Amino acid sequence: MFIREPERDVIVFDQVDVLVAGAGVAGCTAAIAAARTGAKTLLVERSGALGGVATVGLMANIGNLFFDQHGRSVIEGLAREVVQRLVVRGAASDQWASREVPGCVIDTEQLKVLLIEMLREADAGVLTHVLAARPVLADNSRPEQRVVQGAYIETKVGRQAILAKQVVDTTGEADLASQAGAPMQWAQGTASLEFKMGRVDLEALYQHFRRNPESFPVGMD
């Protein structure tokens, strides 16, 4: 069964150089990097906070892949800048920079604030509670020559559009890329239920694992 929606004109909310869809850590850093070059940049996010899985998803650590097996630093740039700025504000340990540390534990609320600050410093625009629903495609009859010219967005006032010279899909599920006809590969994924706990005696927990190392959940967050 279908319902026919009346044809109407879609308001163009903005025209930018770079549109980034999805404000997880990848999307935020993509927007920061683009804006730092002087490009007019706009970042849109479906939820009300920045950081994606690392904040809204409660994944309170950053996997430490900054070093190779010999302990040499292999990741620099914005990734390291984010962690270092978290350390400065007391939101991460200053002892993180070691291959022996599997994950850099962070204060997720502080990460939300830091990402806002870095985007403002770079002069990147941010829209929250805005879903990048599907790509705006150039009128071309050949699918292999499709050109993405922006994205249709869903907001509290209805559907609008943002036109862009470049669109970066950091939605996590490749929402725009798949609808634009980009080659896709399906893979089996995993999911977990995460939650926060308060008033935990961390010293007692540490001592328990010290006495019973076999009970430590290796490889778990």
pTM: 0.88
Distance CA 152, CA 131 (A): 8
Residue with tokens 């998803």: 57
**Is the per-residue pLDDT at 193 higher than 90?**
no
**Is the per-residue pLDDT at 144 higher than 70?**
no
- pLDDT grade, residue 143 (50/70/90)? low
Query: Which H or E run includes 28?
Result: helix 25-36
* Rg of the chain taking only CA atoms, in angstroms: 21
Pairing of strands 148-155, 11-21: unpaired
Residue with tokens 């939300």: 112
- pLDDT grade, residue 142 (50/70/90)? low
**Is the per-residue pLDDT at 141 higher than 60?**
no
Between 37 and 191, residue with greater pLDDT: 37
pLDDT in tens, 88-107: 999 999 999 888 888 889 99
Is the separation of the CB atoms in 148 and 137 below 8 Å?
Answer: yes
Is the separation of the CB atoms in 87 and 129 below 8 Å?
Answer: no
| pLDDT > 70: percent of the chain | 96
Distance CA 24, CA 45 (A): 8
**Is the per-residue pLDDT at 221 higher than 60?**
no
